[in-house]
Chains A and B, each alone.
Chain A
Amino acid sequence: MQAETLAPPALSTGSVRRRRLGKLWGVRVAVVVVWLGSWELTASHWIDPFFYSKPTLIWERLVDWFTEGTAFGSVWIQIATTLQEAVLGFIIGAIGGVVLGILLGRARFAADVAAPFIKAANAVPRIVLASLFVIWFGLGLTSKVATAVVLVFFAVFFNAFQGAREVDRNLVNNARILGASRSQVLTSIVVPSATSWIFASLHAAFGFALIGAVVGEYAGADKGLGLLIANAQGTFDAAGIYAGMIITTVIALLAEWLLTLLENRLLRWRPPALQGAENA
């Protein structure tokens, strides 16, 4: 046993790391300041803020929405509506994508049969389906959830499918020799090894769910962030469009942060170098 000791993980010392982090954030803040400052300046002197808006106007609009409320009631109701649609669409689409992707990934013949149909379905500009869903399901929640589901499903499906296909044959053979049945191979080998793949797609998928919900609302709704944006467009309110975009972005970033927490918990077994590379 003496010959085999654990090598300590190679970590740079705390102060070097902190200095590097400080520099990183310094440059990031500088980029934002230069960008917003130059926008503000150009919009104040050379270009028409009616069309292009400017940071101070957008800020005023946001403050207005959060203190006075929007044309359709409290901004929190709009956010809650969109969030509910996106989360529901995300959950349904992700579960569907994972289950179907893994099953099809393990069934070669069925996968070969389905391949051209899946390709075709993926090639359809699915965002247009939002209009169809409004006709089918009306202006309520269902049509937005449906739009989010179709966007999320394909993103997750392809990764789950690939993940299930790329399972190390050695691991499967080893499990079979150790006594695993077909279903045990699926649950204890295929699903865990596809998890990295699936998580990679879930990050993008929540963004898609939000897009689906917002576009669905844009196509027809009585509340939600998409409605705010559509209404802002209708009233030539550029600042309103930007404000809606910013709220949506913040929601997406928060969801991304939650997903990363969950991922790090579920994928604790991965070597830290890999985790670091993905979180950086």
Chain B
Amino acid sequence: MSVISLRNATKRFPGTGGEPHTAVRDLTFTVDAGEFVAVVGPTGCGKSTTLSLVSGLEPASSGEVDVNGEPVRGIPDGVGYMFQSDAVLPWRSVLDNVAAGPRFRGLGKQQAREKAMVWVERVGLAAFAKYYPHQLSGGMRKRVALAQTLVNEPKIMLMDEPFSALDVQTRALMQDELLRLWAGTGAAVIFVTHDLEEAIALADRVVVMTSSPATVKAIFDVPLPRPRDVEEIRLTPEFVAAYREIWDTLREEVARARAEAMGRAS
């Protein structure tokens, strides 16, 4: 059963020169409960807009976006969203950042903190519970954001290039953490990235987007067993085969996006 379904979803923003700018056009795909779907496409093609539509932060200009079988109006229940840039509250300690969701949802301070502490421990930050975000490394702040999202026990997780600002080793570490933490939740995930390796290593299915305005170009199944070790799995022949197949499709779009960027620059 699909928990997220987009049918011809289109989003236009008011452009700079009076012409509306189309970010995404005629998006159609579904995500089942417990399924991990990665969305890849050229940089700046409008992948993030897809997540805004599903999360209800931006309404679709046309087409339909359903979550849990109902059209999205406002933020649907059970949605978690990890943003590309840091969205942790700089004036709250790690523990209180993670406790923010339960507090907003009406839990008492003490209960919220107890619930939060469980997740702070699960993401490996127990020793840093009282630290402020500026005292943490980039990877640790991502762990805070991950715990902040997971503490609400979302049935749908939207992730917008959450690890793109991290160095390669920390990123691999966080990818493993994500898979480990997600494994027990049964949540549906849409994970947006421009990194095809990341997409294949994490996802059950990979949605390839065209360059701007973005639409779905092709959808691939990733036939790799779970549980996965993201660093090991990159070396398997199955991974390489999947990479080659999807890259063939993605390559044209990346080339076109580059050509357009060059055209605009000159």
Binds B, one of A57-65, A153-161, A175-183, A232-240: A175-183
A6–B135 alpha-carbon span in the complex (Å):
7
Interchain CB contact under 8 A, B134 and A271:
yes
Q: Does A184 contact B (CB under 8 A)?
A: yes
Interchain CB contact under 8 A, B75 and A176:
yes
A4 and B170 in contact (CB under 8 A), knowing A171-B87, A174-B87, A177-B75?
yes
Q: How far is the CB of A86 from chain B (nearest CB, A)?
A: 30
**What chain A residues lie within 8 Å of B234 (beta carbons)?**
none
A255–B109 alpha-carbon span in the complex (Å):
35
A3 and B170 in contact (CB under 8 A), knowing A179-B152, A189-B89?
yes
A180–B106 alpha-carbon span in the complex (Å):
10
The residue from B81, B124, B140 contacting A174, defined by CB atoms under 8 A apart? B81
Q: Does B92 contact A (CB under 8 A)?
A: yes
**What chain A residues lie within 8 Å of B104 (beta carbons)?**
175, 178-181, 184, 188
A3–B176 alpha-carbon span in the complex (Å):
14
Q: Does A173 contact B (CB under 8 A)?
A: yes
Q: How far is the CB of A263 from chain B (nearest CB, A)?
A: 13
Interchain CB contact under 8 A, B169 and A179:
no
A4 and B55 in contact (CB under 8 A), knowing A173-B83, A192-B91?
no
Interchain CB contact under 8 A, B92 and A269:
yes
A193–B90 alpha-carbon span in the complex (Å):
9
A254–B171 alpha-carbon span in the complex (Å):
50
Interchain CB contact under 8 A, A177 and B132:
no
A257–B219 alpha-carbon span in the complex (Å):
63
Q: Does A1 contact B (CB under 8 A)?
A: yes
The chain B residue with its CB closest to the CB of A195 is B91
Interface residues of B in 43-100 (CB under 8 A from A): 55, 57, 75, 79-81, 83, 85-87, 89-92, 100
The chain A residue with its CB closest to the CB of B80 is A177
**What chain A residues lie within 8 Å of B173 (beta carbons)?**
3
Q: Does B5 contact A (CB under 8 A)?
A: no
Size of interface on B: residues with Cβ below 8 Å to A: 33
A174–B98 alpha-carbon span in the complex (Å):
12
A103–B85 alpha-carbon span in the complex (Å):
27
Interchain CB contact under 8 A, A269 and B79:
no
**What chain A residues lie within 8 Å of B136 (beta carbons)?**
6
Interface 0/1 of B137-170, CB less than 8 Å to A:
1011000000011001000000000000000011
The residue from B57, B100, B137 contacting A6, defined by CB atoms under 8 A apart? B137
A168–B89 alpha-carbon span in the complex (Å):
10
Interchain CB contact under 8 A, B134 and A178:
no
Interchain CB contact under 8 A, A188 and B100:
yes
Interchain CB contact under 8 A, A174 and B83:
yes
**What chain B residues lie within 8 Å of A6 (beta carbons)?**
135-137
The chain B residue with its CB closest to the CB of A176 is B75
Q: Does B105 contact A (CB under 8 A)?
A: yes
**What chain A residues lie within 8 Å of B80 (beta carbons)?**
177
List residues of A whose CB falls within 8 A of some B CB: 1, 3-7, 168, 170-171, 173-181, 184, 188-189, 192-193, 195, 267-271
The 8 closest A-B pairs by CB, nearest first: A174-B87, A179-B104, A178-B101, A271-B134, A269-B91, A180-B104, A177-B81, A179-B105
- A sample of 20 more A-B contacts (CB under 8 A), given A170-B85, A268-B132, is A3-B139, A3-B170, A4-B170, A6-B136, A7-B137, A168-B87, A171-B87, A173-B83, A174-B81, A175-B100, A175-B104, A178-B100, A178-B101, A178-B149, A178-B152, A188-B89, A192-B89, A269-B132, A269-B134, A271-B134
- A/B interface sample: 22 pairs, CB < 8 A: A3-B169, A5-B137, A6-B136, A6-B137, A173-B57, A173-B81, A175-B104, A177-B57, A177-B75, A177-B79, A177-B80, A178-B149, A179-B101, A179-B104, A179-B105, A180-B104, A181-B104, A188-B89, A188-B100, A188-B104, A195-B91, A269-B91
